[in-house]
Amino acid sequence: MTDRKMGLQDGLTQYGDAGFSLFLRKAFIKAMGYTDGVLDRPIVGIVNTYSGYNACHRNVPDMIAAIKRGVMLSGGLPIDFPVISMHESFSSPTSMYLRNLMAMDAEEMIRAQPMQSVVLIGGCDKTVPALLMGAASANIPAILTVTGPMSTGSHKGERLGACTDCRGFWGKYRAGNIDDKEIAEINGKLAPTAGTCMVMGTASTMALTAEALGIMLPGGAAIPAVHADRLRHAEETGSEAVKLAISGRSPREILTPDAFSNALRVLHAVGGSTNGLIHLTAIAGRLGIKIDLEAFDKMGRETPVLVDLKPSGQHYMEDLHRAGGLAPILRELRHLLKRDAITVSGKTVGQIIEETTFWDGQEIVRPISNPIYPEGGIRVLRGNLAPDSAIIKQSSASPKFHRHTGRAVVFTSLADLAARIDSEDLDVNPDDVLVLANAGPKGAPGMPEAGYIPIPRKLARQGVNDMVRISDARMSGTAYGSIVLHICPEGAAGGPIGLIRNGDMITLDLEAGRIEHNVSDHELAHRRAEWAPPVHSNCDRGYTKLFLDTVGQADTGCDFDFLMATTLSGTAPEAS
Ligand code: FES
Ligand code: MG
């Protein structure tokens, strides 16, 4: 038991008369119907991320009820409060643009209101990182749970999952292999339940890596949104939050460099979304922990992809849940993990692995001796095109493009891409390299998931289904292909991708980890002298101005500079 103040006294704003401030607080909260005795209990805040726009969070009210039950049965007082809720499809211009706003909202509301611990309910892609960024900065005891993945749909006997299959079927529709009627039918079957995208997209990636960080109770990442297990996990989370309120164990004690090493290891092994790297970098940045991209890349050489989920593999999150969720992944990786890392329950990662019951015979999580892909999912690239790094999800890149030189076909903005990609006049061949510049954090702005540049329609019709594509944008975790992303610095910040012209030769070499622009330094210097940054309209005020003035590049997590920790406290991954 610590000497932390419980109940309403916590964080009391004093204007000279603390007694009167508390008196006022009590008067107003009692209007919610509480009796006095209740208000002295440990208060557990619950971040309510429900929104009528957000089907990924449709089950949040049920989860809150279960969390409250857990809190009350353990002697605490649960109080839920709203923060921004974001769904990927309803976050214009991009959810990345809004992630930092949600993180600021979460941080300040956790800090502003009296609570001795907080339950974070994440789910849709940016919500888990935003909540963890905010909670890390607020640094009051926090525990995460997630809404969980959707169950799969079905079309003509084939299982469907959002949104890898959304892309696959839309590609067939664009190529003329599916008609209007069938694509409309499929549209109604891709997202059949509440919950998050059920492939290894960003939501699944963040849920699994957050569990690996130790900030979620074991087993929580993969439980389908509609399962009773989801509510049981929520109830246990509420109960654990009361213990946290009393122990005072803070996010900083859990989110250590070792914890990030484990999460980055899991990111490789699950074939996770490339967005996961940006988000883990941003969360770490709040704690002064620097993500070492070279070490992360090296980690990938010794960490195979084990999980057979779309888009790299075949299955869906509900299958991973049946196979045991994160636990069998941790078991396979155990000799590579920081097993002494402490988790939110006080148990170490090593203890959790030892206490879990495993069985043989499941096919979703492969043994490390027989992986899906021999190396980690994400490769870090460098070169004269990406002085500060770029990445590629190598497990979903076509082997024929692992070493490839091609002619650049350049699009200078999202609008340019939309206007010309399907033009019959576009001068493009299957061996060309499609380039999209000015789609990074500042360029678009908001770093949209535009890196999945569509195959030009005239090539798609010929059956071309992959090309080398490079950009300073992001890509949905549910997408796949030979796609270089997150080129840093971005074009709009003066990065070399903004200097590429049609017909230049570009070389991608996965083996060597290089992305090169085969143009002389002299010519590049000439082009640089002529370069001017893109001009955005309507960006001289409000959140857009704050965003453009302060957002960082992908290699530092795209956080706002003033939100990151000011002192370095560690580096991850560390050598195992
Ligand atoms: Fe919410 Fe995919 S849209 S997780
Ligand atoms: Mg996504």
Q: How far apart are CA 451 and CA 468, in angstroms?
A: 11
Query: Taking the chain, what is the end-to-end CA distance rounded to the nearest angstrom?
Result: 34
Q: What is the DSSP letter of 211?
A: H
Cβ atoms of residues 438 and 498 within 8 Å: yes
Cβ atoms of residues 504 and 518 within 8 Å: yes
Which ligand is located closest to the Cα atom of residue 127?
A: 1
Residue to mutate (ligand 1; options 59, 87, 164; most atoms within 8 A of CB): 87
Tokens of 475: 């890509």
Q: What is the pLDDT of residues 315-358, one digit of tens each?
A: 999 999 999 999 999 999 999 999 999 999 999 999 999 999 88
Q: How much distance in Å is there from the Cα of 196 to the middle of ligand 1?
A: 5
Atom of ligand 1 nearest to the CA of 202: 4
Which ligand is located closest to the Cα atom of residue 128?
A: 1
pTM above 0.95, yes or no: yes
- Could you tell me if the CB of 320 is within 6 A of ligand 1? no
- Could you tell me if the CB of 201 is within 6 A of ligand 1? yes
Average pLDDT of the residues in 31-36:
94
Q: If you take atom 2 of ligand 1, which residue's CA is the nearest one?
A: 197
Q: How much distance in Å is there from the Cα of 450 to the middle of ligand 2?
A: 11
pLDDT for residue 1 is more than 60:
no
Q: pLDDT band at 576, cuts 50/70/90?
A: low
Q: What is the pLDDT of residues 4-31, one digit of tens each?
A: 778 888 877 667 788 888 899 999 999 9
Cβ atoms of residues 515 and 482 within 8 Å: no
Q: What is the pLDDT of residues 243-288, one digit of tens each?
A: 999 999 999 999 999 999 999 999 999 999 999 999 999 999 999 9
- Could you tell me if the CB of 166 is within 6 A of ligand 1? no
Distance of CA 142 to the CA centre of its chain: 19
Q: In 3-state terms, what secondary structure has residue 410? A: strand
Which ligand is located closest to the Cα atom of residue 56?
A: 1
| Among 401, 337, 381, residue whose Cα is nearest residue 486 | 381
- Could you tell me if the CB of 88 is within 6 A of ligand 1? yes
Q: How much distance in Å is there from the Cα of 326 to the middle of ligand 1?
A: 20
Residue 517 belongs to what H/E stretch?
A: strand 514-517
**Higher confidence at residue 412 or residue 12?**
412
In 3-state terms the chain splits into helix, strand, coil percentages (rounded to 5) of 40, 15, 45
Q: How many residues does the chain have?
A: 576
Atom of ligand 1 nearest to the CA of 125: 4
Q: If you take atom 1 of ligand 1, which residue's CA is the nearest one?
A: 124
Cβ atoms of residues 312 and 377 within 8 Å: yes
Mean pLDDT of all residues belonging to the chain? 95
Tell me whether residue 465 is exposed, middle or buried, using C-beta atoms within 10 angstroms of its C-beta: 0 to 12, 13 to 18, 19 or more: middle
- Dihedral (CA of 195, 200, 201, 205) sign: positive
Q: How far apart are CA 387 and CA 488, in angstroms?
A: 7
Q: How far apart are CA 281 and CA 260, in angstroms?
A: 9
Please state the ipTM of this predicted complex.
0.93
Atom of ligand 1 nearest to the CA of 54: 1
- Distant-in-sequence, close-in-space partners of 386: CB < 8 Å, separation ≥ 6: 484, 487, 488, 495, 496, 497, 515
- Could you tell me if the CB of 303 is within 6 A of ligand 1? no
The CA distances from residue 211 to 120, 143, 180, 204, 449, in Å, are 13, 10, 41, 11, 25
- Distant-in-sequence, close-in-space partners of 33: CB < 8 Å, separation ≥ 6: none
Residue 359 belongs to what H/E stretch?
A: none
- Dihedral (CA of 47, 48, 54, 56) sign: positive
- Could you tell me if the CB of 56 is within 6 A of ligand 1? yes
Tokens of 516: 């090169």
**Which of 91-105, 470-484, 511-525 is predicted least confidently?**
470-484
| Among 162, 157, 27, 142, residue whose Cα is nearest residue 89 | 162
Atom of ligand 1 nearest to the CA of 203: 4
Residue to mutate (ligand 1; options 49, 53, 56, 164; most atoms within 8 A of CB): 56
Q: How far apart are CA 542 and CA 139, in angstroms?
A: 27
Q: pLDDT band at 575, cuts 50/70/90?
A: low
Q: What is the pLDDT of residues 41-61, one digit of tens each?
A: 999 999 999 999 999 999 999
- Could you tell me if the CB of 197 is within 6 A of ligand 1? yes
For ligand 2, a single-atom ion, which residues have Cβ within 5 Å? 88, 125, 201-202, 476
Q: What is the pLDDT of residues 423-449, one digit of tens each?
A: 999 999 999 999 999 999 999 899 999
Average pLDDT of the residues in 30-37:
94
Alpha helices per DSSP H over 313-371? 317-322, 326-333, 349-355
Cβ atoms of residues 329 and 218 within 8 Å: no
Q: What is the DSSP letter of 396?
A: G
Which ligand is located closest to the Cα atom of residue 475?
A: 2
Q: If you take atom 3 of ligand 1, which residue's CA is the nearest one?
A: 88
